[in-house]
């Protein structure tokens, strides 16, 4: 069956079998147009095929998605950056991707903490960062000093007494927050 591929101003015919997968067609396109694709720690560069406005999944067969004789599929080269780091927030139980340049790894821990404070809203004074091995990271050191590499997941831990207070703030529990501000030692002492 003959189909046409529209790619960067070109319109080329391809002969494919109806039971051919989208992944196999992508390989044909890659070889025909000599498209360099890659996947590494910083990101990936891949092909995306579209038909009738929908992106096609690699495992689908051409016939299953309704591609018929002389149909035109659009092909795009997509680039996707991967996060430089991930930070697991022990308060919210969420992992935050840090989409920064790789140069972040040469910066000080204090720079990352400033960035995290802007993202999560926690004051710098109520939390510390830890390596995957649980080692506390100090502001004056660089991330590389802790053997931090691209894709590493660090942990944001709050000091004792702060977790419940911060959860109350995040959930809008006014009475719980007021109680911690008036009664709890660590929060009362450093919260003002």
The pLDDT of residue 184: 54
| Predicted pLDDT of residue 41 | 65
Residue 96 scores a pLDDT above 80? yes
pLDDT(169) > 90: no
Q: Is the pLDDT of residue 76 over 90?
A: yes
**Residue 179's pLDDT band (cuts 50, 70, 90):** low
Q: What is the mean pLDDT of residues 47-67?
A: 90
Q: How far apart are CA 146 and CA 43, in angstroms?
A: 23
5: which 2 tokens?
A: 């591929």
| Average pLDDT of span 6-12 | 91
> Taking Cα atoms as reference points, which of 31, 36, 57, 61 lies closest to residue 46?
36
Q: Average per-residue pLDDT in the chain?
A: 84
CA angle 92–96–146, rounded 5-degree value: 105
In order of start, what are the domains of the chain with their CATH numbers? 2-81 (3.10.20.90), 85-159 (3.10.20.90)
Q: Average pLDDT of 157-179?
A: 68
Arithmetic mean of pLDDT, 14-31: 92
Note whether 29 and 72 are within 8 A (CB). Answer: no
Q: What is the mean pLDDT of residues 1-6?
A: 92
pTM of the model: 0.56
pLDDT of residue 177: 62
Token duo for residue 77: 């080269």
pLDDT band at 51 (very low <50, low <70, confident <90, very high): very high
3-state secondary structure 154-182: EEEEECCCCHHHHHHHHHCCHHHHHHHHH
Please determine, for residue 192, whether its predicted confidence score (pLDDT) is greater than 70.
Answer: no
Tell which wins on pLDDT, 90 or 7: 7
């Amino acid at each position: 069956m003959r189909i046409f591929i529209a790619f960067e101003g070109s319109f080329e015919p391809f002969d494919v079998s109806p039971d051919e997968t989208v992944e196999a067609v992508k390989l044909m396109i890659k070889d025909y147009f000599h498209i360099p694709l890659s996947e590494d720690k910083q990101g990936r560069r891949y092909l995306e095929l579209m038909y009738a406005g929908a992106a096609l999944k690699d495992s689908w067969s051409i016939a299953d998605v309704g591609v018929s004789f002389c149909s035109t599929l659009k092909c795009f080269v997509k680039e996707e950056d991967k996060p430089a780091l991930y930070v697991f927030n022990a308060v919210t139980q969420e992992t935050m991707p840090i989409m920064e340049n790789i140069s972040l790894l040469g910066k000080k821990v204090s720079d990352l903490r400033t960035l995290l404070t802007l993202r999560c809203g926690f004051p710098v004074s109520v939390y510390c960062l830890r390596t995957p091995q649980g080692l506390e990271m100090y502001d004056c050191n660089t991330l590389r000093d802790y053997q931090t590499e691209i894709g590493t997941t660090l942990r944001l831990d709050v000091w004792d007494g702060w977790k419940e207070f911060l959860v109350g703030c995040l959930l809008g529990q006014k009475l719980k927050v007021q109680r911690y501000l008036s009664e709890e030692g660590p929060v009362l002492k450093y919260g003002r």
